Amino acid sequence: MKIPTLRIYTIAYLIFLYTPIVILPIFAFNNSTAVAFPLQGFTTEWFYNIAHDDVLFRALQNSLIVSSISSVLSATLGTFAARASTRYKFPGSGPLMGLIMLPMVLPDMITAMALLVVLLSIGIKLSLVTIILGHVLICTPFSVAILTSAFQSLDKSLEEAACDLGEGPVSTFMLVILPLVMPGIISALLISFTISLDEFIVTNFLGSGEPLLSTFIYGQLRFPKYVPNIMALGTVLVGVSIILLTLAEFFRRRGIAKTGSKDTGGFL
Amino acid sequence: MSERQVRSRFWGSEAFSGLALISPTALYAILLLAAPLATTLLYSVFTDGYLVVIPHFQLCNYIGECRSQLADGTPSPDTYLGAWSDPITQALMLRSLNVSMLVTAMTVLLAYPVAYFVSFNVDASRKSLWLFLITIPFWTSYVIRVFMWNVMMSRTGVINSVLEGMGIISEPLQMVFTIQAMVVTLAHAYAPFAILPIFVALEKIDRSLLEAGQDLGETRFTTFLRVTLPLSMTGVIASVLIVFIPTIGDYVTPNLIGGGKIPMIANIIEKQMLKADNRPLGSAIAVSAMLVVGLISVLFLFLNRRYLKGQK
């Protein structure tokens, strides 16, 4: 019998990928401030702690505000760009799309510092608003990537049919195209939300010191006694992201089924 | 054709519709990305003042010795070295490049077989499930994910306590605060960015070409070398660039895994821009880092083109 080397390798690689997030819940329930084996017994103390942490709640509140607004804005901006680049040919489309997609490869540090220096020099006070400005910049390329494939899989004859039946360009978009790409928009919203929630560098440098989830976590990790709390918080976050991602995947598949094209996999 | 006709032709044209539609997104990117990047470039050739940047052109932030201006407008008695002249910045730049290159090599080499497996050996209906499995760990807090490697590799951490418990080692291994630990952490953090582009490129390969190769007497391995690999190079390039360029600016890993003892280029940019309040020098270091990364990327693209030409 042939040994399935590649399959074994891939499974080993998956184990490498999953190890950190599998270890997370183990120590979230471990009754010791030291994050090490052997385990000391079961406790829900760390979950109790995070449920009663006022600063964490403020950070969570701020993060939800920032991520909701950022994801709506970046999905909207992403829709404009994805529709323009898939439907129309126009001069400058390459460089403009390149600039819009640039934050995907540009180190976040450079994006954050460049924006920070400009904001400071024109005298804008750092706040949640400046964090949102940065997050939209970072999330938009991902929205564009998702929405481009959504718009590309549209059948152009549907749009032509609407035109033939007397609909104008705006009503065609609202009545025909928008419902068809809606699953793509929802998945762009969810992905942007997740990226924004997770963003650390931009949040750290464009913020005023008001805690957000990622900066709160980073701050707590400096103190060993708070580490188990973060393990518990991380466990909750992993659970929430898996639910959000499963939803995103569900909508993406439904979108593909709606437009009748083939599933080519992946978010990106 | 009258001027009016020309005008109405433009307003109704495809070019206008496209530009109008993309304008909100494009304007946002121009104002909040292109303009700040241009400002950074400008600042890097200006003079550092007290809490301000003075538009006085000079190149000393890059090469040679520089003087800041004091609050009263007189030149400071102390000088500082430009980005390319300062041995500390040089060392950090080299270390960042070294880490980035190791991370890129490790990530892409480890990712290729995984992408190959999913594309060639997995049933078409289950491919998206596999990709979903690969991406899941990466949508959870980046800071926590990086910190988990500290948890695993620290002196009292998971790996050491397991190995000691099993009696394999008597002294804990020193893993955190090393470059290798940062490389492993980053290779883990960027794994999906390497897998997905290679997978997409492999998916596009016409399977009949592989059969043709084998019909013409090639073995599976030589078919891979002469057909599959060259055809998937676009994906390999995309993943190399998408891993190499952002990792050079990583800020969290040097702090959480390197314990702040092994700073990389992002940490010195932060220090100059904020703590030391020397924005021209900070800008010059940022621009230099991007320049070096850009040059290496172009060189890599050029070498790849030669490799693909050599194939024909």
State mean pLDDT over B53-62.
Answer: 85
Identify the residue whose tokens are 């407008």: B73
- Under a CB-based contact definition with an 8 Å cutoff, are residues B218 and B226 in contact? yes
**C-alpha separations of B124 from A42, B103, B118, B135 in Å:** 43, 31, 9, 18
Q: Between helices B179-189 and A5-28, what is the axis angle to 10°?
A: 100
| Token pair belonging to B56 | 């006085």
State the nearest Cα–Cα gap between B226 and chain A, in angstroms.
20
Residue B2: pLDDT over 70: no
Q: What is the mean pLDDT of chain B?
A: 87
Handedness of CA B188, B194, B200, B205 (dihedral sign): negative
Question: What mean pLDDT, rounded, does chain A reach?
Answer: 86
Dist. CA B117–CA B131, nearest whole Å: 11
Asked if B24's CB is within 8 angstroms of A77's CB, the reply is yes
Residue of A nearest to B164 (CA): A37
What domains does chain B contain, in order, with CATH numbers? 3-81 (no CATH), 87-311 (1.10.3720.10)
Statement: residue A267 has pLDDT above 70: no
- CB burial readout B183-212, b (16+ within 10 A) else e: bbbbbbbbbbbbbbbbbbbbbebeeeebee
A123-177 pLDDT, tens digit each? 899 999 999 999 999 999 999 998 998 888 887 788 888 888 888 778 888 888 8
The verdict on A250 touching B (C-beta cutoff 8 Å) is no
Q: Which range scores top for mean pLDDT: A49-63, A231-245, B66-80?
A: A49-63
Contact B22 A264 (CB under 8 A): no
Nearest to B196 by CA among B236, B146, B156, B150: B236
Please report the pLDDT score of residue B49 as a whole number: 83
Domains by residue range for chain A, with CATH: 66-207 (1.10.3720.10)
In angstroms, the Cα distances linking B213 to A71, A98, A113, A211, B312 are 47, 37, 51, 59, 14
pLDDT value of residue A134 = 96
End-to-end CA distance of chain A: 37
Q: How does pLDDT run across B13-29, given as a tens digit for each residue?
A: 788 888 888 999 999 99
Cα angle B272, B275, B276; round to 5:
50
Q: Which residues of A touch B238 (CB under 8 A)?
A: none
Residues of A in contact with B165 (CB under 8 A): 37-38
Contact B142 A198 (CB under 8 A): yes
Mark yes or no for CB contact B18/A93 under 8 Å.
Answer: yes
- How many beta-carbon pairs below 8 A join chains A and B? 254
The SS3 of residue B67 is: strand
Taking an 8 Å cut-off on Cβ atoms, the answer to whether A198 and B19 are in contact is no
CA distance B183 to B175: 11
Tell me the per-residue pLDDT of B145-188, one tens digit each, with 9 for 90 and over: 999 998 888 888 888 888 888 888 888 888 888 889 999 999 99
Give me the pLDDT at residue B312, please. Answer: 53
| Residue B137 with chain A: CB contacts under 8 Å | 17-18, 20-21
- Tens of pLDDT, residue by residue over B85-108, are 899 999 999 999 999 999 999 999
Q: Tell me the C-alpha distance between B50 and B39, whole Å.
A: 18
Closest residue of chain B to A82, computed from CA coordinates: B22
pLDDT for res A265: 47
Residue in chain B nearest A234 by alpha carbon: B144
Answer whether residue A268 shows pLDDT above 60. Answer: no
* Mean predicted confidence (pLDDT) in A80-106: 90
Question: What is chain B's Cα-based Rg?
Answer: 25
Best mutation target among A100, A117, A138, A242 (most B Cβ atoms within 10 Å) is A117
CA–CA distance, B144 with A214 (Å, rounded to integer): 9
* Cα–Cα distance measured from residue B239 to residue B231, given in angstroms and rounded to the nearest whole number: 14
Instruction: Label residue B171 left, alpha or beta by phi (over 0 means left) and psi (-120 to 50 means alpha).
Output: beta
For A93-105, what is the mean pLDDT? 91
**CA B185 to mean position of chain CA atoms:** 14
User: Which burial class, exposed, middle or buried, applies to B101 when counting CB atoms under 10 A from its CB (0-12, 13-18, 19+)?
Assistant: middle
Helix (H, G, I), strand (E, B) or coil at B68: strand
Which DSSP string corresponds to A203-214? Answer: HHHHS-S---HH
| B110 contacts in chain A (CB < 8 Å) | 13
Q: Is B267 helix (H, G, I), strand (E, B) or coil?
A: helix
Instruction: Report percent pLDDT > 90 for chain A.
Output: 40
Phi, psi torsion values for A266, nearest 5 degrees: 65, 155
Range in A140-144, A234-238, A248-252, B199-203 the model is least confident about: A248-252
Interchain contact, B14 vs A198, CB within 8 Å: no
Among B121, B137, B161, the residue with its CB nearest the CB of A17 is B137
**Which token pair is B57?**
């052109």
Chain-centre distance of CA B223, in angstroms?
Answer: 32
Query: What's the CA gap between B266 and B268, in Å, rounded?
Result: 6
Contact A20 B34 (CB under 8 A): no
Residue A205: which residues within 8 A CB-CB, separation 6 or more? A112, A113, A116, B270, B274
Residues B30-35: contacts with CB under 8 Å, at least 24 apart: B30/A99, B32/A115, B32/A133, B32/A134, B32/A136, B32/A137, B33/A99, B33/A102, B33/A103, B33/A111, B33/A114, B33/A115, B33/A137, B34/A99, B35/A118
Residue A87, both tokens: 């439907």
B70: phi then psi, degrees, rounded to nearest 5:
-80, 175
Taking residues B283-305, report their average pLDDT.
91
Distance from CA of A197 to the nearest CA of B (A): 8
Could you tell me the pLDDT band of residue A13, with boundaries at 50, 70 and 90? Answer: very high
Task: Give the mean model confidence (pLDDT) for residues B57-78.
Answer: 83
